[in-house]
Amino acid sequence: MTNHVSAGFLTRANALFRKNLTFQKRNIWSNVRLIVIPFYLCLLLVGIQVLFDTQVNNSADNRCGCQCILKNGDGKCERKSCGLQYSSIKQAAFCAFPNPPPLLPLLHIPRPETRSVDGSRGSCRRRGSCPVTILVTGNNQSLGAILSRNLLRTSFTMNSSDIFLRNLAYNVLSTTSEADYTNFREPGIYSDLPIFNIQPRCKSTPNLSFSFRQPPLKFYKEVRCVRGLNLWRNNSKEINDEIYKGNYRQGNHEEIINEVATAYDFLDTDRNNFNVAIWYNSTDKGEFKMQDRRVKMVRVPRLVNLASNAYLQFLRGPGTKMLFDFVKEMPKQETRLRVDIASIIGPIFLTWVILLLFPVILTSLVYEKQQRLRIIMKMHGLGDAPYWMVSYAYFLVISTLYIVCLMIFGSAIGLKFFRYNDYSMQFIFYFLYINLQISIAFLLSSAFSRAETASVAAYIYVFGSGLLGGFLFQFMLEGLTFPRSWIFVMQLYPGLSLYRGLYEFSEYALKKTLNGSDGMKWKHFSDSAMDEVFYIIIIEWFLTLIAAYYMDRVSSSAKYPFVFLKNPFKKSPSPKMHSFRRQGSAVSIEMEKLDVIEEREKVEKLMLEPSTSHAIVCDNLNKVYPGRDGNPPKMAVQGLSLAVSAGECFGMLGPNGAGKTSFINMMTGLVKPTSGTALVQGLDTCNDMDKVYTNMGVCPQHDLLWETLSGREHLLFYGRLKNLKGSDLNQAVEESLKNVSLFRGGVADRPAGKYSGGMKRRLSVAISLIGSPKVVYMDEPSTGLDPASRMNLWTVIKRAKKHTAIILTTHSMEEAEFLCDRLGIFVDGRLQCIGNPKELKGRYGGSYVFTMTTSSEHEKDVEMLVQHVSPNAKKVYHIAGTQKFEIPKEDVRISDVFQAVEKAKSNFKVFAWGLADTTLEDVFIKVARTSQTFNVFS
């Protein structure tokens, strides 16, 4: 009827894959939500960009000023004109300059408080009258003296007929304002600072004001006289030293600053040669990232003009003048502020987006572990390899979809972060990272036992990594003083290696926005830090996978996660254990009951000549858990020999901790026996477990079901694991739904989370029975059920028993009696007795229980009566007139008892009386008690 070829790797992987698919289909909305998260976040980024565009990039302040020059009737503007004349100073930076205005060539001089105090010992500082120092040197000192005298004009020349700048060209005008970004203005003119005229000697009325026109704007400037001082130095080295030392700042308080305006070295200048070297200060104050166009005024031309003029006058006499009217910048087009805010905040944002998958993966892995779904799948033969591969593949697919959606949304919406960088590089980067992320989730899943804890920890990791990256790591990256090796070390933290990659992408996107360079391309792979990040991610990925594999191995097989840390010099406990066991088994042979010995002999015979009549054969099975923390080793199962034939239901009774679950775990391949063999259908559980699984079903003590999957889907999944396919599968599922009456009213298609306890239990039983396994283990199948449901379940099991060997553990004697053909009572890992319920009762009970209640003065009479019926009767219970006796069966005939009671009733008053056969419960208690007492003595 069914195909009992064992399910191969692919079949199992397929079963799990389809189960996961259904599971995820159930969770379709949370999946869709997950995948559209990138969409929302990209929208958010675009929203921020749009807001920034309207508020900053396109705000009136950040573009060339305009004015309405023609209004129509209803007040609307018909024509606007934009240009410098309508702009504020700030706006002017963005205007087109088809014809840049002429600029006054100014000289830069130090501010009064930083000027050189050479000779005057600082007294001029207090008065604010320090001269502007110009240092001069050259090969010929007498020539140098002449030239330096010619450098400065003695008077301020002002011609009333104001023709543009010509007037001012006669004078050496200077400013203390920084030579900042000019926007095609000379900051010395439009700032509030006065203009200085440098003269060798200032007259008493030095200051005059005049209106100064620098088209198209008009400025009113005050011109002040400032004393210029030319000092000879012996050589250029001296000048260098002086400037270097003069620029020395000591701490924050005392600043020894002696700035000179400029210095000239006239070298070998003579009548025929004019050779000059000029010192000037071009210290830049750093650059603004947001400024899209940087123009710095270089105030050098005036310095050159001064020297040339001085030389000209030396050659041609004092009347000669070389006028320097103006300087003029190159024309420029209208510009706009184009700040790509999305790329600037992109790294932190996208770090969050990509890390957001981590909690999802981790939580889902820990959930399966927490709900012990992993164990039950393993019991049904789903090995580690298919489980990990399908889980990995599944998370990889989801993550890849997520990333692809992110890239598509991001590009479609127009985020430059995605558009400007090479797509293949981005994809490979994200792809590598999500692989690393999945492996980390696998590794960490063994560290958590509760899904809630795992998810909280994972979210802390996500937000922590983003913040760490954005507010700490980025500053370290941009600050040039932070050691690069530490940056590398920080990148070993996965969140930061992701951040670094995203940061590089955003930098390249920004650069492209600003000055049109390439975005990130493969050719930049090693220039940027991308190579470093890629290698870190790949290496960590492999290491994490190996570690995850190891941790899973260890945590599922042994209880010691750090096996390799165990002290190798510690004496192994095994020799001691051996002797202990040998001793134990000697005792057990001596003590073993006849029925147990018989069973052992049967098994020994079966082991010699294998037959298929017995589905389960266990030969001398032992399981010893090594001792821990100084406790002796625990012998969970000792010398168990058992044969269960097909169509038989074997009931395992025993007190808690007797080793029933250990036995079932061994039989289902979860743990390996310490010694002995177990054959299922003639296949060894140690070697052929894969084949065994196809013929095996398990119904665990607790319902291990997926809340969101329906009953039918559960059965389909487990049916596939049993290698059922196509119509066979559907038929088997329908049948088993019918068998456990989960068929009517669409129950089969409701999620299992909504089932009542009885329905869940029936589903668990149905799962264990699907695919007509030859062997089924049931661990307390009816615990916690109401009597009606229990009856229902029993009928199902009873029907299934026909072709199947069932091993069933239970605490309910009623269940054992109803379902089981044979029973074994298990105490302390050892089988104490075995036989069918009737036999056991006969053997261990072997007596009737006689109860009688009278008034207390007749108690003696009752005792007499019982003695009369059977001299061997034993009183087992006595309280306030009620007495209970055990009467050996062979001593009495029931009719004798009735006669005796009738006679007694006539003598004294009998309130109540009863005669009962022994129950299985009595047997159980008796066996458990005697063997436990024995074990205490042995």
Cα dihedral 525, 531, 534, 536, rounded to 10, equals: -170
Q: Do the beta carbons of residue 931 and residue 923 sit within 8 Å? A: no
| Minimal distance, residue 233 CB to ligand NAG, in Å | 7
Q: Which of 54, 159, 424, 907 binds ligand NAG (CB under 6 A)?
A: 159
| Minimal distance, residue 228 CB to ligand NAG, in Å | 16
| Minimal distance, residue 235 CB to ligand NAG, in Å | 8
Q: Indicate whether 56 belongs to the interface with ligand NAG (CB under 6 A).
A: no
Q: Which of 30, 85, 157, 517 binds ligand NAG (CB under 6 A)?
A: 157
Tell me whether residue 142 or residue 515 sits nearer to ligand NAG (CB atom). Answer: 142
136-144, 299-307, 614-622, 917-925 -> range binding ligand NAG (CB under 6 A)? 136-144
| Minimal distance, residue 188 CB to ligand NAG, in Å | 13
Q: Do the beta carbons of residue 506 and residue 346 sit within 8 Å? A: yes
| Minimal distance, residue 132 CB to ligand NAG, in Å | 12
Q: How far is CA 94 from CA 28, 50, 58, 83, in A?
A: 52, 20, 11, 9
| Minimal distance, residue 193 CB to ligand NAG, in Å | 14
Q: Which of 243, 307, 406, 865 binds ligand NAG (CB under 6 A)?
A: 243
What whole-number distance in Å separates Cα of residue 76 and Cα of residue 68?
A: 9
Q: Do the beta carbons of residue 720 and residue 703 sit within 8 Å? A: no
**Any residues with CB less than 8 A from the CB of 2 and at least 6 apart, and which?**
722, 724, 728, 732, 771, 772
Write phi, then psi, for 785 (nearest 5 degrees).
-105, 150
Please report, as residue ranges, which positions from 258 to 287 form the binding site for ligand NAG (by CB under 6 A): 259, 270, 281, 283
Write phi, then psi, for 64 (nearest 5 degrees).
-60, 135
Tell me whether residue 243 or residue 603 sits nearer to ligand NAG (CB atom). Answer: 243
Tell me whether residue 281 or residue 305 sits nearer to ligand NAG (CB atom). Answer: 281
Q: Indicate whether 247 belongs to the interface with ligand NAG (CB under 6 A).
A: yes
138-146, 488-496, 853-861, 870-878 -> range binding ligand NAG (CB under 6 A)? 138-146
Q: Indicate whether 234 belongs to the interface with ligand NAG (CB under 6 A).
A: yes
Contact code string over 809-838 relative to ligand NAG, x by CB under 6 A? ------------------------------
Tell me whether residue 263 or residue 800 sits nearer to ligand NAG (CB atom). Answer: 263
Q: Which of 72, 99, 161, 567 binds ligand NAG (CB under 6 A)?
A: 161
| Minimal distance, residue 183 CB to ligand NAG, in Å | 19
| Minimal distance, residue 298 CB to ligand NAG, in Å | 13
What whole-number distance in Å separates Cα of residue 621 and Cα of residue 869?
A: 47
Tell me whether residue 277 or residue 900 sits nearer to ligand NAG (CB atom). Answer: 277
CA-nearest of 924, 921, 932, 701 to 830 is 932
| Minimal distance, residue 216 CB to ligand NAG, in Å | 23
| Minimal distance, residue 526 CB to ligand NAG, in Å | 37
Q: What angle do CA 250, 251, 253 make, to 5 degrees?
A: 95
Tell me whether residue 233 or residue 524 sits nearer to ligand NAG (CB atom). Answer: 233
Strand 634-645 to strand 775-779: parallel, antiparallel, or no bridges (unpaired)? unpaired
CA-nearest of 876, 910, 870, 911 to 894 is 870
DSSP assignment, residue 97? B
| Minimal distance, residue 243 CB to ligand NAG, in Å | 5
What's the gap between Cα 781 and its chain centre? 39
Evaluate the CA torsion angle 194, 199, 201, 207 in order and state its sign.
Answer: negative
Give the number of residues in contact with ligand NAG, rule: CB under 6 A: 14
Contact code string over 697-726 relative to ligand NAG, x by CB under 6 A? ------------------------------
| Minimal distance, residue 295 CB to ligand NAG, in Å | 17
Write phi, then psi, for 452 (nearest 5 degrees).
-65, -45
CA-nearest of 194, 452, 500 to 350 is 500
27-35, 157-165, 762-770, 789-797 -> range binding ligand NAG (CB under 6 A)? 157-165
| Minimal distance, residue 143 CB to ligand NAG, in Å | 4
Amino acid sitting at position 853:
T
Amino acid sitting at position 282:
S
Tell me whether residue 58 or residue 281 sits nearer to ligand NAG (CB atom). Answer: 281
Tell me whether residue 146 or residue 467 sits nearer to ligand NAG (CB atom). Answer: 146
Write phi, then psi, for 311 (nearest 5 degrees).
-65, -40
6-14, 156-164, 504-512, 564-572 -> range binding ligand NAG (CB under 6 A)? 156-164
Q: Indicate whether 140 belongs to the interface with ligand NAG (CB under 6 A).
A: yes
153-161, 409-417, 427-435, 727-735 -> range binding ligand NAG (CB under 6 A)? 153-161
Contact code string over 183-222 relative to ligand NAG, x by CB under 6 A? ----------------------------------------
CA-nearest of 514, 540, 349 to 439 is 540
What whole-number distance in Å separates Cα of residue 813 and Cα of residue 809?
A: 10
**Length reported for the chain:** 938
Q: Indicate whether 132 belongs to the interface with ligand NAG (CB under 6 A).
A: no
Q: Indicate whether 305 belongs to the interface with ligand NAG (CB under 6 A).
A: no
Q: What 3 state SS string does 515-584 have? A: HCCCCCCHHHCCCCCHHHHHHHHHHHHHHHHHHHHHHHHHHHHCCCCCHHHCCCCCCCCHHHHHHHHHHH
Tell me whether residue 65 or residue 188 sits nearer to ligand NAG (CB atom). Answer: 188
Q: Which of 36, 143, 396, 413 binds ligand NAG (CB under 6 A)?
A: 143
Please report, as residue ranges, which positions from 316 to 355 form the binding site for ligand NAG (by CB under 6 A): none
What whole-number distance in Å separates Cα of residue 94 and Cα of residue 97?
A: 9
Q: Indicate whether 567 belongs to the interface with ligand NAG (CB under 6 A).
A: no
DSSP assignment, residue 141? H
Evaluate the CA torsion angle 119, 121, 123, 124 in order and state its sign.
Answer: positive
Cα dihedral 492, 496, 498, 504, rounded to 10, equals: -110
Q: Indicate whether 142 belongs to the interface with ligand NAG (CB under 6 A).
A: yes
Q: Do the beta carbons of residue 421 and residue 520 sit within 8 Å? A: yes
87-95, 155-163, 468-476, 543-551 -> range binding ligand NAG (CB under 6 A)? 155-163
Tell me whether residue 142 or residue 856 sits nearer to ligand NAG (CB atom). Answer: 142
What whole-number distance in Å separates Cα of residue 161 and Cα of residue 181?
A: 32
139-147, 493-501, 624-632, 884-892 -> range binding ligand NAG (CB under 6 A)? 139-147
What whole-number distance in Å separates Cα of residue 700 and Cα of residue 667?
A: 13
Q: What angle do CA 114, 117, 123 make, to 5 degrees?
A: 100
Tell me whether residue 43 or residue 278 sits nearer to ligand NAG (CB atom). Answer: 278
154-162, 298-306, 334-342, 440-448 -> range binding ligand NAG (CB under 6 A)? 154-162
Task: Give me 596's structure tokens.
Answer: 């147990």
Q: How far is CA 564 from CA 553, 561, 568, 828, in A?
A: 13, 9, 9, 32
DSSP assignment, residue 694? H
| Minimal distance, residue 283 CB to ligand NAG, in Å | 4
Q: How far is CA 497 from CA 337, 467, 483, in A?
A: 32, 14, 17
Task: Give me 699's structure tokens.
Answer: 């119904």
Q: Indicate whether 415 belongs to the interface with ligand NAG (CB under 6 A).
A: no
Tell me whether residue 172 or residue 653 sits nearer to ligand NAG (CB atom). Answer: 172
Q: Buried b vs exposed e over 569-595: b needs ≥16 C-beta within 10 Å? A: eeeeeeeebeeebeebbeebeeebbeb
| Minimal distance, residue 219 CB to ligand NAG, in Å | 22
Residues in contact with ligand NAG by the rule CB under 6 A: 140, 142-143, 157, 159, 161, 178, 234, 243, 247, 259, 270, 281, 283
